[in-house]
Structure 1
């Protein structure tokens, strides 16, 4: 099974990689933090058929699509990359708002634009969007994050 995991350098992404690591799995780990990816690769290499690292910032859509295109078809796509602005009563800057949406929503679209036609052509595969309960129960101190996850749910 060939699995692409975004946001794989830490948190849920790294844990997904650990859970899917086995001799039949080709892991493709995508994140911007190369050292953390290399550390995870070293940890999981003995357990996996292969591990490919894609070091890219998901907000660089041109490079993101180029890297994703290089892996070809996958069996499972785990769209996990995401950020938060934390909890605050202050209105976020437009830059922070836009960056959060670029990571949490638009990067997924950029990846799907490349891989969805391949999944449709092979007539198999699965896509998992990692969202949040915040998409259903918005906290006033995290409105931008919640709205990005609600947008993701509607994708």
Structure 2
């Protein structure tokens, strides 16, 4: 028995990284977790671990870029108390070198898929007058940096959507939380940073995935507006919002470490 006992939590992008760790923690708190991702074999491994620990878990393989399937998957899952939109990826390239195919793929997963899953859950949550939507965004959604123009654009979109949604749902009993982490030690960078230069540059400052997952799990079913990690990076984004030209000149070299 735990704080989340009998709560039904749908986690996308749960086959590894942050999503996998969230699945373990939420299940340990008593939640019935429903996991989605493209890799069914990995989802089954996560499920096996959760069941082995006495938790409850079901898997629904699903590529969130196939937005027409979101509603069908939600119907198979049934009512959802908490949706954690974690699925996402990035590719670090200059604006000149990035491809339109990469742009399309990132927006389909990071933005359209997130919106589709949210819309699939909203009617049930509105009927129950309760629920929690947690969108995994990024500090990149607040402070764009070189070689992340497309990725930052998707996360700016997630923040804009989430902020508007939060205001629309005021008074309904449904909370909206955005999570804005800096770089996390996960497989994210096997795609985003294929040459490994960014990881080498900022590796010492990378966030521990388990610690981030703990912060998010603690915020489930609360009215937490945002989770910003790490604090020093969030302070930098706030400074940038106030003095963008100053920060770009002062921290130009640091921001180009990709």
TM-score normalised to the size of structure 2?
0.57
Task: Return 5+ residue gaps in structure 2 as ranges.
Answer: 1-6, 162-258
Q: Which residue of the partner structure matches residue 79 of structure 2?
A: 73
Q: Tell me by how many angstroms 1:47 deviates.
A: 3.2
After TM superposition, the runs of 4+ consecutive aligned structure 1 residues lying more than 4 A away are none
Q: What residue number does 1:145 align with? A: 151
Matches within 5 A, 1:45-124: 45-88=51-94, 90-124=96-130
* Distance in 1 of aligned mates of 2:150 and 2:30: 39
Please give the secondary structure, in 1, of the residue aligned with 2:143: coil
Q: CA RMSD in A?
A: 1.5
Question: Do the aligned partners of residues 103 and 48 (structure 1) sit closer, same or farther apart at CA in structure 2, a change above 3 Å counting?
Answer: farther
How far did 1:22 drift? 2.6
The structure whose Rg is larger is: 2
CA distance in 1, matches of 2:106, 2:138: 14
State the 1:123 CA deviation.
Answer: 0.8
Query: After alignment, is 96-105 or 40-49 more displaced?
Result: 40-49
Higher relative CO (Cα under 8 Å, sequence separation at least 6) belongs to 1
Q: Structure 1 length as normaliser, TM-score?
A: 0.93
Instruction: Measure the CA separation in 2 of the matches of 1:100 and 1:83.
Output: 7
**Cα displacement (A) at 1:49:** 4.5
User: How many residue pairs end up in the alignment?
Assistant: 155
